[in-house]
Amino acid sequence: MADISFVRTEMLPEKTPPATSVGLIGWMRENLFSGWFNSILTVVSLGFIYYVLAGVLPWMFQSSWTANSLSQCREAISAAHGEGASGACWAVVRERYLQLIYGFYPDHLYWRPNIAFLLTLAALAPILFSALPRKMLWLAVVAPFAVPWLLWGGSAWLPLSAALGFVLGYGAFRGVSQLNGSLAAIIAGVAAPVLWWMLLAGPFAALVQSILPVGIEPVESRAFGGFMLSITIGVVAIVCSLPIGIVLALGRQSNLLIVRTLCIGFIEFVRGVPLITLLFVASTLLNIFMPPGTNFDIILRVMIMVTLFASAYMAEVIRGGLAALPKGQYEAADSLGLDYWKAQRLIIMPQALKISIPGIVSTFIGVFKDTTLVSIIGLLDPLGLSNAIRADANWNGIVWELYGFIALMFFIFCFSMSRYSMFLERKLQTGHR
């Protein structure tokens, strides 16, 4: 008797999916040819990509690496690929890549910026990747003092004197906190190192140097240039702007009128002024307000201005993360009996920073790219050096090769920061989409 039930009583055998729905064909059908409009866009895009690559790839590979001038490049390319052939003259990169990286830094001292760069990476690694041993964090304490000493050289007692300022600040904070409230302790902890650095650090280092001379060959700031200069300014601005931005964001939400007004005024003023204006202030006008005979290093001035500029934008990014938190998180901190700083450190700020990761990294990338603006005030960053190289009679007229190399280097750094941002977002992801 035939089974005429509406519910199947036996399992059907498994079948392989259609070939058009899996693998490369399935991916193309789903993403590139899912409809008539998507198919047209795919064909047009492929045609545009082919048109660009058909012009760029021959130019890139019909190139010369061994010439000593632009005219020799063109002669070598014509001899190899026929009269009238055009190609890239990568010989300029081969000849000037050290200058594009180190600027006019003495070539026998290249080991110092190399070690400084590796030390910076080693100091940032345990902060960026929690899987690394926590013992490596001591490098993050040493690097801020060792790296400038390696780059600029001079007396070894000057960075030690600068480090002593933090020790004095911590001692003042601890001592005042036992006598008065936390506000007085914070003021003492800030005032003590600032006064030390402004008045006593230099004479103390000079005195100890006269008794026990220890140091390395000094290098003037005018010798700095290329990617070494951009990385130095960018790293300092990136590392310092985040904590300053956090303080400004918290100050903007403070209940203290003076603190809130100062933070709002600083943020709105800096965000309303172009960075190039601040750089001109750092390079020209700032010396007018300094005491006569004061030698305020130009690179240090630029670092301060770029850091303050980045801090104002960072403060708004952090404030956006704070505003995104529900009110219940603040109430939860209050219900646990936590004071303001513990609540911020343990509950509020970790969540706000997690929310703000894309904006924070975007600000970092923008700051690093903005370091090219220092060429306008006379500092020879990679773009400034490219102009100097093209002023040479041998390379006069060469453009795309230099800009292509500089763009590639900036892309590597910026793309690495972007990938780390995505890694951090995946690592801290707690919800499900």
Q: For 13-37, how does the pLDDT look when each residue is reduced to its tens digit (9 = 90+)?
A: 887 777 677 778 888 888 888 888 9
Q: Is 288 exposed, middle or buried (0-12, 13-18, 19+ CB in 10 A)?
A: exposed
**In which band, very low, low, confident or very high, does the pLDDT at 51 lie, cut at 50, 70 and 90?**
very high
Residue 298 pLDDT > 80, yes or no? Answer: yes
What average pLDDT does the structure give for the chain? 87
pLDDT at site 232: 93
Tell me: pLDDT of 290 over 70: no
For residues 242-266, give the mean pLDDT. Answer: 91
For the cut 50, the answer to whether the pLDDT of residue 286 exceeds it is yes
Return the pLDDT at 32.
84
Q: Give the whole-number percent of the chain exceeding pLDDT 70.
A: 94
Closest C-alpha to 233, from 185, 288, 278: 278
Indicate whether 264 pLDDT > 90: yes
Say whether pLDDT at 317 is over 90. Answer: yes
> What pLDDT score does 217 carry?
92
Highest mean pLDDT among 177-186, 211-220, 278-287: 211-220
The reported pLDDT for the residue numbered 194 is 87
pTM, entire model = 0.85
Give the lowest-confidence range in 39-43, 87-91, 234-238: 87-91
Please say if the pLDDT value at position 322 is more than 50. yes
List Cα–Cα distances, 65 to 54, 79, 81, 87, in angstroms.
21, 14, 15, 11
The pLDDT of residue 375 is above 90: no
Taking 60 as the threshold, does the pLDDT of residue 2 lie above it?
no
- Residue 86: predicted pLDDT: 82
Q: Which of 368, 226, 360, 232 is CA-nearest to residue 303?
A: 232
Instruction: State residue 110's pLDDT score.
Output: 94
pLDDT of residue 431: 55
Alpha-carbon gap, residue 267 to 261, rounded angstroms: 10
Q: At which residue do the structure tokens 């902060």 appear? A: 127
Mean pLDDT, range 296-312, rounded to an integer: 89
Most confident option among 117-121, 133-137, 344-348:
117-121
Q: What is the pLDDT of residues 89-104, one digit of tens each?
A: 899 999 999 999 999 9
CA distance 260 to 258: 6
pLDDT computed for residue 262 by the predictor = 93
In tens, the pLDDT along 154-212 reads 999 999 999 999 888 888 888 877 766 667 777 888 888 888 888 888 889 989 989 89
CA-angle at 303, arms to 299 and 306, nearest 5°: 135
Mean of pLDDT values over 132-159: 90
CA distance 394 to 65: 15
Residue 277 CB-density burial (10 A; 0-12 exposed, 13-18 middle, 19+ buried) = exposed
Place of tokens 């990509």: 49
Average pLDDT over residues 241-254: 91
Q: Which residues of 28-58 are buried (b: 16+ CB within 10 A; e: fewer)?
A: eeeeeeeeeeeeeeeeeeeeeeeeeeeeeee
Q: pLDDT for 407-422, tens place per residue?
A: 999 999 999 999 998 8
Name which of 269, 298, 268, 270 is nearest 286 in CA terms: 298
pLDDT at 430 over 70: no
d(CA 11, CA 102): 71
Which range is most confident: 257-266, 296-305, 388-397? 257-266
Is the model more confident about 108 or about 432? 108
User: What is the pLDDT at residue 426?
Assistant: 85
From residue 50, give the alpha-carbon distance in Å to each of 44, 45, 46, 56, 62. 10, 9, 6, 10, 18
pLDDT at residue 116 in the model: 94
Report residue 213: phi and psi, to 5°: -70, 120
Supply the pLDDT for residue 184: 77
Q: Do the beta carbons of residue 245 and residue 315 sit within 8 Å?
A: yes
| Six-digit token string for 107 | 């070539």
Q: What is the pLDDT of residue 432?
A: 47
CA–CA gap between residue 29 and residue 7 (Å, rounded): 35
Share of the chain above pLDDT 90, in %: 37
